[in-house]
Amino acid sequence: MKEINSLRLKLRHYALLLILNAFANISFAQYVIKGTVTDATTGYGLPGVNIFLKGTNIGTITNVDGTYSIEIPAKKSVLVYSFVGYKTKEVDITQSSTIDVSMEVEVIQLEASVVVGYTTEKKKDLTGSVAIVNLSDVKDLPADNIIKNIQGRIPGLFVTTDGSPGSGARITIRGTGTINNNDPLFIIDGVPTKSGMHELNAKDIESVQVLKDAASASIYGSRAANGVIVITTKSAKLEKTRIEFASNWSLQQYTSKLDPLNTEERGRVYWQACVNDRLSPTNPIYNYVWNGDFNHPILASITYPEYIDPNKTMKPADTRWFDEISRPSVLQNYNLTVSKGGDKSRSLFSIGWYDNKGIIKETHFSRVNARFNSSFNLLNNRLTLGENFTMSFQQEVLINASDVLFTSLVQQPIVPVHTEDGGWGGPAPGMTDRQNPVRLIEDNKQNRYKYSRPFGNVYLQLDPIKNLTIKSSFGIDYSLYYARAIQKKYVSGFLVENNNTLTNNMNYYGNYVWSNTATYKFNIKKHSADFLLGTEQIKYKSEWYSASRQGYVSEDLNFAYLSSGAKNQLNAGGGSLSTLLSYFGKVNYSYNDRYLLSFTLR
C-alpha cells in the first residue's frame, strides 16, 4: 500500500513539472523576425542599419547586403529602424516573420545649405569638416554669449571663460594652433572679425557653423589657421508683419563649491604637519597644548591670542570667505523683433537688453543691441540690394573675478573682514601676503568700462544670366572701449597702499572689408561643378591711449578726474595701420553625387 501511495506522489510531482514547463515555454517563447532594409530610391541594401525593439535594449544591425535577423519575445511590439542620413522608421510587428523595410533619405540633412567660404554649398557636397550647431538645443539658455552655450555640442571645439558676467570666451578648435593666439576667425554675415562674440545678441543668430579643417577653411588663407566660425543672423521671411517678444529670467548659483578649512581645522592641520616633520609647532597665531611627544603626539587644545596683529586691531575670526564674496546670480534678457517680407522687399528690426548680476558680489554686466537689415529685389529679381547693421552698447563693473575667487580660497579664516575700528582686515605677521577679497570688491565696485560696436555691411548682388551670380559687399567693424578706474588707498593687515591712482584707458579699433565675388554653377547629366573667383581688400586701423595721476583728495569717480591729481602724471599711446589684399578661387566638382573634388587657391 505504501508503495502505491509513493508511486502516486511521484506521478503528481512529474505532472506538476510538466505543467510548469509548458507554461515556461509559453511565457518565454522567442519569435524570429527576418528581412531586408533597402534604400527607397535605389533599392540597394543598406548595411549597418540599427534595428531595436522599442522600449527595450534588444537590437541588431543589418549585414553588408542589408539583411537582418532579430529574436523578440512577443509579436505585439514595434521595431525601430535608424541610420545616419535616413529618416527613422517604426514598424508594427504582425504575424508575419518577414519584414522588409525601405528607408528614405533625410533630405533636411543632406540638402541643407551650409555657408562655406564666400558661398553656400549643400551638406552632401562638402569635402571638408563642417559642424552645424542645432540652435534649438540652446535657445532657452542664458543669452550672454552664444559661443558659451555651444560648449560640448561640437567635437573638437573647446570653450573656457573666467566666470565673470561679461567675460569673453577663449575658443580653441582641435587643440592649440599657435603659441600667442589661438582664436578662430569669425565670419559674421560675410564680414571677417577677430572680436569677441559676447557683443552679439544670441536671439539674432540664425545659424552657427564651424569650419574645422584646412579643406573647409583654406579659402580664408592664413587667418583661418585656428579654424573658422561662420555666423549668419536672422532676416525677414516671406510673410506679413510679424511681431515677436521674448523674455527670459533665470537664477544661477554654485551647485557645489570648495569648502576650505575653518580656523580650528587649519590650526590642527598646521600642528600635524609640524609634528610629522618633528618640528616645533610654535606659531604667532596658534597656541598648542600638547604632550610634546613626537612619537606619540596628543593635541589637547588650541588657543588663540586676543589679537592676531601687533597693532591690536584684529581679533581672531572664523571667516567663511567664499560666502562673503558670493551670491546667487540673476540674469534677465528681453528681445523684441519686428519683421515683414514680400516678393520685392524684406526688412527686420530687433532690439534686445541683457542684464547679469554676477555670482561674485557687485559684479554686473549689461548690454543693449539694436539691429536692422533689409533687402530689395529689382529688375525681375535679377538685382538684389541689401544691408545688415548691428549696434551694440555694453558696460561692466571692473572687478577681477579671478583674483577675488582665488583669494577667497587661500586667505586664512582667522583673518576678520574688518578690524575693530572698521578698517579692512588683512594678513598678520606669520601669514602670506594675501589680499582681503571683500576689499577687492568694495574698492573696485565703482570702476567700470563702456564699450560700443557698430558692425555690418551693404551688398549688391546681380544675376545677369542663369547660374551666374556676381556680388559686391562693403562691411565695417568698429569698436570703442573706454574705462575709468581708481585704485584707492588702503591698509589691510601689513599690506599698505599710501597713494591713490586714477587711470583712464581708451582703445579704438576699426576695419573695413570690400569683397567682390563671381560664382557660376552648371550641371551636365551626372557631372556638376561650381566655380568661385574673388578679390578682397581689408584695411585695419587701431589707436589707444592711457593716462594716470595720483594724489586725489576725493576717491569718488564723480569728482576724480585727471586734472585733479596732484602728482605723478603719466601718459602713453600708440596705433597701427595695415592693409590686406587677396585674390582667391575655388572649384568644386561632383560626379553622380558620389565622387567629390575640391580645389582652393588664395
For 511-555, the three-class secondary structure string (H helix, E strand, C coil) is EEEEEEEEEEEEEECCEEEEEEEEEEEEEEEEEEEEEEEECCCCC
Amino acid code (one letter) for 47: P
Q: What is the mean pLDDT of residues 238-256?
A: 85
The answer, yes or no, to whether residue 175 has pLDDT greater than 80, is: no
pLDDT at residue 406 in the model: 92
Give the cell for residue 83. Answer: 541610420
Provide φ and ψ at 40, rounded to 5°.
-65, -25
Q: What average pLDDT does range 456-481 have in this prediction?
A: 94
Asked if residue 80 and residue 49 are part of one domain, the reply reads yes
Tens of pLDDT, residues 489-521: 999 999 999 999 999 999 999 999 999 999 999
Domain that holds residue 115: 109-233
Asked, for residue 546, whether it belongs to a domain, the answer is no
The pLDDT of residue 140 is above 90: no
**Same domain (yes/no): 129, 224:** yes
Residue ending a domain, among 233, 253, 271, is 233
**Structurally, how many domains does the chain consist of?**
2
Is 139 a domain residue?
Answer: yes
Q: What is the pLDDT of residues 541-566, one digit of tens each?
A: 999 999 999 999 999 999 999 998 99
Strands 205-211 and 501-524: unpaired
The pLDDT value given to residue 57 = 67
Whether 138 and 156 share a structural domain? yes
Q: How confident is the model at residue 252 (pLDDT cuts 50, 70, 90)?
A: confident
- State mean pLDDT over 235-259: 84
Q: What is the CATH number of the domain that holds 56?
A: 2.60.40.1120
More confident residue, 203 or 488: 488
Q: Which amino acid is at 260?
A: P
3-state per-residue secondary structure call for 343-392: CCEEEEEEEEEEEEECCECCCEEEEEEEEEEEEEEECCCCEEEEEEEEEE
Closest CA to 366 of 448, 438, 440, 441: 448
- Asked if residue 159 and residue 76 are part of one domain, the reply reads no
Kindly report the average pLDDT of the chain as a whole number.
85
Q: Give the H or E element holding residue 309.
A: none
Q: Containing H/E element for 407?
A: helix 401-410
- Give the three cell numbers for residue 68: 537582418
Q: Are residues 59 and 129 in the same domain?
A: no
Residue 178 has what pLDDT?
A: 63
In terms of Cβ atoms closer than 10 Å to its own Cβ (0-12, 13-18, 19+), residue 568 is exposed
Q: Please tell me whether residue 48 adopts helix, strand or coil conformation.
A: coil
User: Residue 366 in contact with residue 143, Cβ under 8 Å?
Assistant: no
Q: What is the pLDDT of residues 2-36, one digit of tens each?
A: 444 443 444 344 444 443 343 334 334 567 889 99
Give the pLDDT mean for 194-198. 71
Q: What is the reported pLDDT for 460?
A: 96
CATH number of the domain encompassing residue 130? 2.170.130.10
Do residues 37 and 129 both lie within one domain? no
Q: Which of 10-24, 72-86, 120-134, 422-436 has the lowest mean pLDDT?
A: 10-24
pLDDT at 456: 92
pLDDT above 70 for 107: no
User: What pLDDT was estimated at residue 22?
Assistant: 38
Cβ–Cβ under 8 Å, residues 197 and 177: no
Which residue do the cell numbers 527670459 mark?
A: 248
Torsion of CA 309, 314, 315, 316, to 10 degrees: -70
d(CA 249, CA 251): 7
3-state secondary structure of 323: helix
pLDDT at 149: 72
Q: What is residue 198's predicted lDDT score, i.e. its pLDDT?
A: 74
What is the predicted pLDDT for the residue at 176?
66
Domain end point (choices 233, 255, 273) = 233
258 part of a folded domain: no
Looking at the DSSP assignment, which residues form a beta bridge with residue 369? 352, 392
By the 10 Å C-beta count (0-12 exposed, 13-18 middle, 19+ buried), 228 is classed as buried
192, part of any domain: yes
Q: What is the mean pLDDT of residues 263-278?
A: 94
pTM of the model: 0.74
What confidence score (pLDDT) does residue 179 get? 60
Is the separation of the CB atoms in 243 and 337 below 8 Å? yes
Which of 171, 170, 221 shows the shortest CA–CA distance to 192?
221
Q: Which residue has the higher pLDDT, 445 or 255?
A: 445
Q: What is the DSSP letter of 212?
A: -
The verdict on 93 and 113 lying in the same domain is no
Residue 110 has pLDDT above 60, yes or no: no
Residues 119 and 224 in one domain: yes
Q: What is the dihedral of CA 314, 317, 322, 328, to 10 degrees?
A: -100
Q: Are 321 and 415 spatial neighbours (Cβ–Cβ below 8 Å)?
A: no
Residue 120 lies in a domain: yes
Instruction: Note whether 149 and 133 are same-domain residues.
Output: yes
- Give me the pLDDT at residue 544, please: 96
Say yes or no to pLDDT of 187 above 80.
yes
Confidence of residue 162 (pLDDT cuts 50, 70, 90): low
Residues 271 and 252 sit within 8 Å (Cβ to Cβ): no
pLDDT at 7: 39
Q: What is the pLDDT averaged over residues 342-371?
A: 93
The grid cell for 135 is 540652435
The grid cell for 5 is 501511495
Can you tell me the mean pLDDT for 305-309? 93
Report, as an integer, the average pLDDT of 262-266: 93
Three-state secondary structure along 280-332?
CCCCCCCEEEECCCCCCCCEEEEECCCCCCCCCCCCCCCCCHHHHHECCEEEE
Residue 191 lies in a domain: yes
Q: Please give the share of the chain, as a percent, with pLDDT higher than 90.
A: 50
| pLDDT of amino acid 503 | 96
Whether residue 327 lies inside any domain: the answer is no
Residues β-bridged to residue 249? 332
Residue 142 has pLDDT above 60, yes or no: yes
Show which of 107, 124, 140 is a domain's final residue.
Answer: 107
- Whether residue 285 is contained in a domain is answered as no
94 shares its domain with 117: no
pLDDT value for 3: 42
Residues 197 and 210 in one domain: yes
86 with 20, same domain: the answer is yes
Distance CA 89, CA 51 (A): 10
Range with lowest mean pLDDT among 9-13, 99-103, 118-122: 9-13
Return d(Cα 14, Cα 19) in angstroms, integer: 9
